Amino acid sequence: MARYKSARVGERGEPKPRCCVCGSEDVCAKIEGKFYCYKCGSRIIVEHSRRIVEELVAKYLGEKLLTQDDPFNWGGG
Ligand SMILES: [Zn+2]
């Protein structure tokens, strides 16, 4: 008489997500399919938003500076 106690198959073999930067198991964010711990995740977000700001500055302020022929033209000739 084979009696199987509810075999818990499939409950193991579930890998714990780890931070892809420092390898910490204390994962709290998933960014672009990768896991990050709080420390690395927040750093990624800060650097990402800083890059966006820098692109905007280069795009708008850079063009503005280029379109001004001489921002320090004092009219002396
Ligand atoms: Zn980390």
The predicted structure's pLDDT at residue 68: 61
| Separation of CA 37 and ligand 1 centre (Å) | 4
The model's pLDDT over 5-55, given as tens digits with 9 standing for 90+, comes to 544 444 566 678 999 999 999 999 998 899 999 999 999 999 999 999 999
| Separation of CA 12 and ligand 1 centre (Å) | 24
pTM here is 0.52
The predicted structure's pLDDT at residue 22: 97
Instruction: Give the whole-angstrom CA distance, residue 51 versus residue 60.
Output: 14
The model's pLDDT over 60-71, given as tens digits with 9 standing for 90+, comes to 887 666 566 666
The predicted structure's pLDDT at residue 41: 94
Asked if 16 and 25 touch (Cβ cutoff 8 Å), the reply is yes
| Separation of CA 50 and ligand 1 centre (Å) | 19
Residue 6 in tokens = 């509810």
For the chain, where are the alpha helices, taking DSSP H only? 38-56, 62-67
